Amino acid sequence: MILLVLASILKFMLIYERVLNKFIMLSATSKRLPVKKMTDNIVLGNYFSQIITLSTVPLQVLLSVWSTLVANLTILTGMLVFISILLVASNDLSGVVLIYVNTYN
């Protein structure tokens, strides 16, 4: 377990070092080829897009839970309305209650 934690920390430090290197290379004035500057821009763009994607995951989870709740409440409301209409339309209320109790048990 300790080795896994240490490996994760080392991996994070290496990625962080590369991103900082790209920032420094973009901000420092040096004679670099345009292709290298373009690759630095691409790497930083991908890095920021990954951060934005990961930051929206909690919002996506909340919206997914919300849509599930709304769908279930809609189905429940529809069932309650249907059962209420059947109860009002039935001539024999004791028969409906008897079917409900038998279904419940």
Helix (H, G, I), strand (E, B) or coil at 56: coil
Report which of residues 86 and 13 the model is more confident about: 13
Structure confidence by residue, pLDDT tens digits, 6-17: 999 999 999 888
pLDDT, position 3: 93
Q: Using one digit for the tens of pLDDT, what is the confidence trace for 29-71?
A: 777 788 888 888 888 889 889 999 999 999 999 999 999 999 9
The whole model's pTM is what?
A: 0.53
Distance CA 84, CA 69 (A): 22
Residue 90 is given by DSSP the state: -
Task: Centre a 10 Å sphere on the Cβ of residue 30 and count the other Cβ atoms it contains.
Answer: 8
Crossing angle for the helix pair 2-27 and 34-55, nearest 10 degrees?
130
Residue 20's pLDDT is 85
Q: What is the pLDDT of residue 74?
A: 97
